[in-house]
Amino acid sequence: MLIQLDFEIDKPIYLQLIEQIIAGIAKGQLQPGERLPSVRQLAADIGINMHTVNKAYQELRQREFIVIHRQQGVIIHPDGPPLADEQFRNTLEELLHPLIAESLCRQYSEDEFIQLI
C-alpha cells in the first residue's frame, strides 16, 4: 500500500501515518492478518525516523487495529478492526460538532454536507 505523507501541513507525521493505515483498512487495501512493513523498513521507505513509525504502530496497537509480534513483525488485527462502541460515537460526535457548527454558520446546507460525505 502506498503511504502518502505531507510534511508541510502541521498535522503530526505519526497521526498522518495512523490515518493512512486506517484508511487502507477501510478501503480493503489492507486485509486482516496482512503483514505491515517493519518499523525500520517503513521508516526508511518514507524517509522518517524509526521512532515516529513506532509511535504510530503503538497507537494502532492500543486501538486494536494491528497486532505487534515481537519477532514476526506487525500485522493487521486478524479479527478485523474493533467495532463502533459508545465511546467511539461520543468521540465522533465531539469531533463533528464544531465542523457542523461552522458549516451552519456558513450556510452550508445539510444536504451538501451529507453529499460531501
Partner DNA sequence: GTGGTCTAGACCACG
Partner DNA sequence: GTGGTCTAGACCACT
Positions in the binding site for DNA (CB under 7 A): 10, 12-15, 38-41, 48-52, 54-55, 57-58, 68-71, 73-74
Shortest gap between Cβ of 33 and its own copies (angstroms)?
Answer: 12
Q: Which long-range contacts (CB under 8 A, 24 or more apart) does 8-13 make?
A: 13/48, 13/52
Q: What is the chain's Cα-based Rg?
A: 17
Size of the residue set binding its own copies (CB under 8 A): 45
Helix (H) or strand (E) holding 35: strand 35-36
Q: Residue 106 touches which of DNA, its own copies, none (CB < 5 to 8 A by kind)?
A: its own copies
Residue 81, judged by CB atoms within 10 A of its CB (0-12, 13-18, 19+), counts as middle
Q: Which residue matches cell numbers 478492526? A: 81
Half-sphere exposure of 90 (CA within 13 A, CB side): 3
From residue 4 to residue 43, the character string flagging contacts with its own copies as x (rule: CB under 8 A) and all else as - is ---xx-x-x------x--xx-xxx----------------
Q: What are the residues binding its own copies (CB under 8 A)?
A: 7-8, 10, 12, 19, 22-23, 25-27, 62, 65, 67-70, 72, 81-84, 88-89, 92-93, 95-108, 110, 112-114, 116-117
